Amino acid sequence: MVPALFVLAAAAPASLPIPAPILTTPQARDTLSFAQPETARVTHVDLDLTADFATQRLSGTATLDILAKPGADRIVLDDDGLVIARITDTDGRALPYTVGASVAEKGAPLTVRIGAARRIVVTYTSAPKASALQWLPPALTAGKSKPFLFSQGEPTNNRSWIPTQDSPGIRQSWSAHITVPASMMAVMSANRLTPEGEPAGKGEKRFAFNMPHAVPPYLIALAVGDLAFKPLGPTTGIYAEPATLARAAAELDDTQKMVAAASALYGPYRWGRYDILMLPPSFPYGGMENPTLTFATPTILTGDKSNVDVIAHELAHSWSGNLVTNATWSDVWLNEGFTTYFENRIDEAVYGKERAATLADLSWDNLQRDLKGAGGPDAPSTRLHGDPNGTYGELDYNKGATFLRTIEYRVGRAKWDAYLRSYFDRHAFQPQTTAGFLADLRANLIHGDVALEKDLQLDRWAYQPGLPDNAVHVRSATLAAIDTKLAAFDAGAPATSLDRSKWSTQEWLRFLNGLPRKQSPARLAEMDSAWGLSRSPSAYIGFAWFSLAISNHYDPVVPALDHYLHTIGRGLFVFPLYRGLMAQGPWGQPIARRIFATARATYHPTVAAALDSIITKPS
């Protein structure tokens, strides 16, 4: 049965938009939030905050619009370290509140006695070490002259700077006024009402933003810095520090084509503009799909467009994730698996079938790696629906995408595309669960076809560990050619004999990751001398090379590895490298601890906290 939607429409004031529906099925219960939305829920957030770089705090007010059942006299919000001065109704009358005990990965419940109030004002300050916020000194920016601030909300970090119900299933519209130093620019994941800011006195500027659509609260995002803008097309553009802007704009000049390709596949882009913010190197992800403004890592800038699939991925989230959102983090594959599949379709439309096949083939490699790393295909962490902390590695992405690709190959692309487009239309601006998706699939694609249901193995894909035997593996001719060269090199061919002058990042990754993990010091030295791997401008190639070198205790690479770990904060790279060092016992652990001691300050708080647990493990 399709899950029922719960809307307290009868209690909504006439002046407010109809709130986004929520799911109240057992599968939609968010165990990582204290909110009780079936009783009272936030429907709109209005922020008025000032960024203080000296104290590393955001301070001001959050005004919350509330939809509550008749007779409900309290609302439970999520809080992680907020310093609350007071909570009132809009007439200034104090409202009693309590902050409960803190719980790991959840923060604390903030319970407000609202009485008859349906709009409340929280006056507060974020803590200097708020998990969502990274305050960078000038030395850690591209321009080296001004500080920088950016937020990262997913999955549960926005409760450290916004007092709201921080759950993906409780979608909220929002607006904001942000006051910053006059020499800086503020951008947010919303319509930018004052792109250049307005004077606010005392050497400050004030920026205004509005997001009329109800979105999951983890998508409320902020950045402040020395930023400039360059258009990439009629509805696309890029923000970056001036020192980075030209290079980033040249690399990402196909963005408008991607938007057109995505819209042709699965329906209109519904967010107005699609802009990109190129962040400093400490940004912990490849990209973050904040609506209207993807946050992106500079590690994708390699000069050859090899890694612009990251932008295709974040753009695809404008449908899968932002438009239709996992109701809880146990179902994050509904965001990431759908998006990885959709990303590949955008790549095919813009760059051709072989480029898409190459990326899909590498995705299969990563899927096999993670199935093995999770402890084998029967490990519980290989299930798509399961632990709220997600699957092992990138299984949400690659197993989820393989699931959808398998359906495409079984039913045919035309039928599958028509279904997906209708799916996004039916569930636009709503949360979704695995159970809800499977019900929709059965109702609108399978239509009771017993043979098709059996062939697809839907429940096995969604709820069981491992990889079903009907999984589709797309093979790339480009990577097959690399495999031939890899075999020759492994048989003893000299490094200088390989013509790799036109290799893409993906070809390098297939080659380096395909090498036997045991290599002699002489062979490693030969590779580095011939190919300049330690000096590669590609963070992806560097990562693959350093991983191989670490597994062989290759001392000559340590200075370059030290530099790499001080200049890149992307979790995809730094977590495995530190784990790799720590796994090498007396050789690698001192190196890891020495590098981390000085590099820690360059990482986003969430990355630094996770690395703390890796580095402090006993020898």
Domains and CATH numbers, the chain: 5-226 (2.60.40.1730), 319-463 (1.10.390.10), 478-615 (1.25.40.320)
- What is each CA distance from 22 to 30, 324, 338, in whole angstroms? 12, 12, 21
Helices and strands (H, E) in the chain, number of each type:
18, 24
Q: Which amino acid appears at position 535 of this protein?
A: R
Catalytic residue selected from 239, 392, 397, 419: 397
pLDDT, tens digit, 9 for 90 and up, residues 250-280: 999 999 999 999 999 999 999 999 999 999 9
- Average pLDDT of the residues in 359-387: 93
- Average pLDDT of the residues in 375-383: 91
- Residue 303 structure tokens: 């000069």
Three-state secondary structure readout of 159-186? HHCCCECCCCCCCEEEEEEEEEECCCEE
314 noted as active-site residue: yes
Whole-number Å distance between alpha carbons of 207 and 67: 28
Q: 377: pLDDT confidence band, cut at 50, 70 and 90?
A: confident
pLDDT at 62: 98
DSSP alpha helices (H): ranges in 149-282?
Answer: 242-251, 255-266
The distance of Cα 255 from the centroid of its chain, to the nearest Å, equals: 18
Whole-number Å distance between alpha carbons of 482 and 476: 10
Whole-number Å distance between alpha carbons of 482 and 511: 6
pLDDT at 36: 97
Q: 616: pLDDT confidence band, cut at 50, 70 and 90?
A: confident
pLDDT, tens digit, 9 for 90 and up, residues 145-169: 999 999 999 999 999 999 999 999 9
Say if CB 288 and CB 295 are below 8 A apart: yes
pLDDT at 17: 57
Say if CB 327 and CB 432 are below 8 A apart: yes
Whole-number Å distance between alpha carbons of 107 and 595: 30
pLDDT of 345 strictly over 80: yes
pLDDT at 13: 38
- Contact partners, residue 399, CB within 8 Å, separation at least 6: 333, 337, 367, 370, 382, 384, 391, 461, 467
Could you tell me what percent of the chain has a pLDDT over 90?
Answer: 91
- Mean pLDDT, the chain, rounded, equals 94
Query: Angle CA(387)–CA(77)–CA(2) in degrees, nearest 5?
Result: 50
Q: 7: pLDDT confidence band, cut at 50, 70 and 90?
A: very low
101-110, 472-481, 609-618: lowest mean pLDDT where?
609-618
Q: 3: pLDDT confidence band, cut at 50, 70 and 90?
A: very low
Three-state secondary structure readout of 118-136? CEEEEEEECCCCCCCEEEE
Q: 618: pLDDT confidence band, cut at 50, 70 and 90?
A: low
β-pairing verdict for 148-151 and 108-113:
unpaired
- Average pLDDT of the residues in 212-230: 98
Q: 4: pLDDT confidence band, cut at 50, 70 and 90?
A: very low
Three-state secondary structure readout of 280-333? CCCCCCCEECCCCEEEECHHHCCCCCCCCHHHHHHHHCCCECCCEEECCHHHCH
pLDDT at 97: 98
Catalytic residue selected from 241, 289, 314, 394: 314
Q: Which amino acid appears at position 185 of this protein?
A: M
pLDDT of 2 strictly over 90: no
- Contact partners, residue 414, CB within 8 Å, separation at least 6: none
Question: Per residue in 547-584, is it b (16+ CB within 10 Å) or e — as a string?
Answer: bbbbbbebeebbebbeebbbebbbbbbbebbbbbbbeb
β-pairing verdict for 83-89 and 148-151:
unpaired
The length of the chain in residues reads: 619
pLDDT of 191 strictly over 60: yes
- What is each CA distance from 146 to 293, 368, 374, in whole angstroms? 22, 44, 42
DSSP state of 557: G
pLDDT, tens digit, 9 for 90 and up, residues 563-582: 999 999 999 999 999 999 99
pLDDT, tens digit, 9 for 90 and up, residues 459-513: 999 999 999 999 999 999 999 999 999 999 999 999 999 999 899 999 999 999 9
Whole-number Å distance between alpha carbons of 415 and 67: 40
| 470 phi/psi in degrees, rounded to 5 | -95, 10
Whole-number Å distance between alpha carbons of 573 and 564: 10
pLDDT, tens digit, 9 for 90 and up, residues 9-29: 333 333 445 688 888 888 899
pLDDT at 440: 98
- Contact partners, residue 427, CB within 8 Å, separation at least 6: 323, 324, 440
pLDDT at 98: 98
- Residue 223 structure tokens: 């950045």
- What is each CA distance from 416 to 342, 405, 407, in whole angstroms? 12, 9, 7
β-pairing verdict for 133-136 and 274-278:
unpaired
pLDDT, tens digit, 9 for 90 and up, residues 395-416: 999 999 999 999 999 999 999 9
Q: 390: pLDDT confidence band, cut at 50, 70 and 90?
A: confident
Q: Which amino acid appears at position 150 of this protein?
A: F
- What is each CA distance from 332 to 322, 337, 394, 395, 504, in whole angstroms? 12, 8, 11, 11, 30
Q: 363: pLDDT confidence band, cut at 50, 70 and 90?
A: very high
Q: 533: pLDDT confidence band, cut at 50, 70 and 90?
A: very high
